[in-house]
Amino acid sequence: MAISSTPQAARPLNRQDMKTLALAALGGALEFYDFIIFVFFTVVIGKLFFPPDMPDWLRQFQTFGIFAAGYLARPLGGIIMAHFGDLLGRKKMFTLSIILMALPTFAMGLLPTYATIGIAAPLALLALRILQGAAIGGEVPGAWVFVAEHVPRQHTGYACGTLTAGLTAGILLGSIVATLINTSYSPAEIEAWAWRIPFIVGGVFGFIAMYLRRWLHETPVFKELQEKKALAAEFPLKTVLRDHKSAVVLSMLLTWLLSAAIVVVILMTPTYLQKQLGLAPAVTLQANSLATIALTLGCILAGRLIDKIGGGWTFILGSSLLGTVIYYFYSTVLQDPSTLYGAYALAGFSVGLVGAVPYVMVNAFPATVRFTGLSFSYNVAYAIFGGLTPMMVSLWLKTEKFAPAYYVCSLSVLGFLIGVYLLIHDKKAAASA
């Protein structure tokens, strides 16, 4: 596998770079909020969109199934948008993904429930979730490629980490909005109508993000490819699958690590704590907000670190920290819930390792097929691992209360091995240079 760097001259970050990073991160935060707000209301959505006589575990399983549908739809949307992103430009697809997210999110807030239209309610919810998945499939890889191609190569890690921090800030925004809903309204009011507010607000956020992106410019890397008439000469995905198999496998394994950390520790844990410890939603969401703030900081630090010491040592050290802290978090909180806030914040910080993931994936593909290669690898892997993880862990929890800890710790071992591989690869590349 030949890891190619972004062909940008070495120079300090300038004002335009920082503006691009800020706008891209803010837009990404608003769009990612739209995608994940669903998970914070899985309990009430399960009650409202499925038959009332359904067993609680089955209702939760099917609700997470609809959540997973968004992930399963990501590859198609991502491949299509990445195809045109490699041929027509990064910015065009970067902007299109916004509107494809905003409309279904807004529509979710207006959906009739099972009590009103029966089985059509969960089917309509499923259809809208699929549209969301198609949109986010183009958004996340496109955003990483966009910022990486705007900054000097020695700051690629920082750019990717900052963008990832923006995406995680979308999770924080979702957690804050969910906390406000749960503290401002009674459970009866939330079930009656207040659950709709976050989705309607999310639609508005999407239109704001679309407006912000009008100030962004096409990447210098893509402009250079256009000027030199060096764009992909054939179907980009064909080139990726034929010539860059090792980069695809590496990117998929990294995505598995990323999905395990984000989906389990950040998205599933509030519901997990409510079920296992009987904690109030407001309490778990407040703790989740602290964890997500720590995650955001961790992403930026991981990006800085990988620019300084490279991918090998970053993943060896970061994965070791992740496995240790995650096991400590779940085992400690289940025994002593009073440690929730501090332990969850520490866990969130350790998950910040995911901020280093896009650096490796962006540099694993040449610029001509970078968007397609990253998008295909990331979205297919996320569809498999991110989409199925909630259901797998939910079923595992029926027999093992430490299932989330065991799952994430297993993936931290994978992250450690990836770090060793990157270290060996970098040494071989340096020796042959």
Q: Cβ(372)–Cβ(83) under 8 Å?
A: yes
Residue 70 scores a pLDDT above 60: yes
pLDDT by residue (tens digit) across 275-286?
888 888 878 888
pLDDT by residue (tens digit) across 27-50?
778 877 887 788 788 888 888 888
> pTM to 2 decimals?
0.81
Range with the poorest average pLDDT among 51-55, 185-189, 329-333, 334-338: 51-55
CA distances in angstroms from 235 to 80, 180, 241, 372, listed in the order given = 11, 47, 10, 10
For the chain, the average pLDDT equals: 85
What number is the average pLDDT over the span 412-421? 96
Of 51-65, 151-165, 342-356, 395-409, which one has max mean pLDDT? 342-356
The residues, any chain, with a CB within 8 Å of residue 406's CB and separated by 6 or more, are 400
Q: What local confidence, expressed as pLDDT, does residue 277 receive?
A: 85
What number is the average pLDDT over the span 233-242? 80
Q: What local confidence, expressed as pLDDT, does residue 365 receive?
A: 92
pLDDT by residue (tens digit) across 192-208?
999 999 999 988 888 88
Which structure tokens are listed for 414?
């994978």
pLDDT by residue (tens digit) across 143-154?
888 888 888 888
Q: Which residue has the higher pLDDT, 394 or 303?
A: 303
Q: What local confidence, expressed as pLDDT, does residue 89 receive?
A: 65
Centroid of chain to Cα 357: 11
Using CA atoms, how far apart are residues 148 and 140, in angstroms rounded to an integer?
A: 12
Q: What local confidence, expressed as pLDDT, does residue 6 receive?
A: 44
Q: What is the DSSP letter of 213?
A: G
Q: What local confidence, expressed as pLDDT, does residue 7 receive?
A: 44
- Pick the closest to residue 4 from 424, 421, 404, 368 (CA basis): 368
Residue 312 scores a pLDDT above 90: yes
Q: Is 310 left (phi over 0), alpha (psi -120 to 50) or beta?
A: left
pLDDT by residue (tens digit) across 253-268?
999 999 999 989 988 8
- Per DSSP, the residues of 274-318 read HHHH---HHHHHHHHHHHHHHHHHHHHHHHHHHHHHHHHHHHHHH
Residue 233 scores a pLDDT above 70: no
Q: Which residue has the higher pLDDT, 147 or 219?
A: 147
Residue 67 scores a pLDDT above 80: no
Residue 232 scores a pLDDT above 60: no
pLDDT band of 352, cuts 50, 70, 90: very high
Using CA atoms, how far apart are residues 271 and 280, in angstroms rounded to an integer?
A: 10
Using CA atoms, how far apart are residues 429 and 125, in angstroms rounded to an integer?
A: 49
Using DSSP's 3-state secondary structure scheme, residue 237 falls into helix
Residue 26 scores a pLDDT above 90: no
Q: Return the percentage of the chain with pLDDT > 70, whole number.
A: 90
Q: What is the DSSP letter of 244?
A: -
What number is the average pLDDT over the span 217-240? 67
Residue 111 scores a pLDDT above 90: yes
CA distances in angstroms from 11 to 4, 17, 152, 155, 360, listed in the order given = 18, 11, 6, 9, 21
Using CA atoms, how far apart are residues 84 and 248, in angstroms rounded to an integer?
A: 19
Which structure tokens are listed for 233?
């000469």
Q: Which residue has the higher pLDDT, 51 or 14?
A: 51
Range with the poorest average pLDDT among 22-26, 186-190, 253-257, 349-353: 22-26
Using CA atoms, how far apart are residues 257 and 386, in angstroms rounded to an integer?
A: 10
pLDDT band of 161, cuts 50, 70, 90: very high
Residue 289 scores a pLDDT above 90: no
Domain locations in the chain as residue ranges: 15-432
What number is the average pLDDT over the span 55-65? 75
Residue 234 scores a pLDDT above 70: no
Q: What local confidence, expressed as pLDDT, does residue 131 receive?
A: 87
Using CA atoms, how far apart are residues 392 and 61, in angstroms rounded to an integer?
A: 9
Q: What local confidence, expressed as pLDDT, does residue 64 receive?
A: 74
The residues, any chain, with a CB within 8 Å of residue 14's CB and separated by 6 or more, are none
Q: What local confidence, expressed as pLDDT, does residue 251 receive?
A: 96
Residue 91 scores a pLDDT above 80: no
- The CATH code that applies to domain 15-432 is 1.20.1250.20
What is the Cβ-side half-sphere exposure of residue 161, based on CA atoms within 13 angstroms?
A: 25
Q: What local confidence, expressed as pLDDT, does residue 50 receive?
A: 83
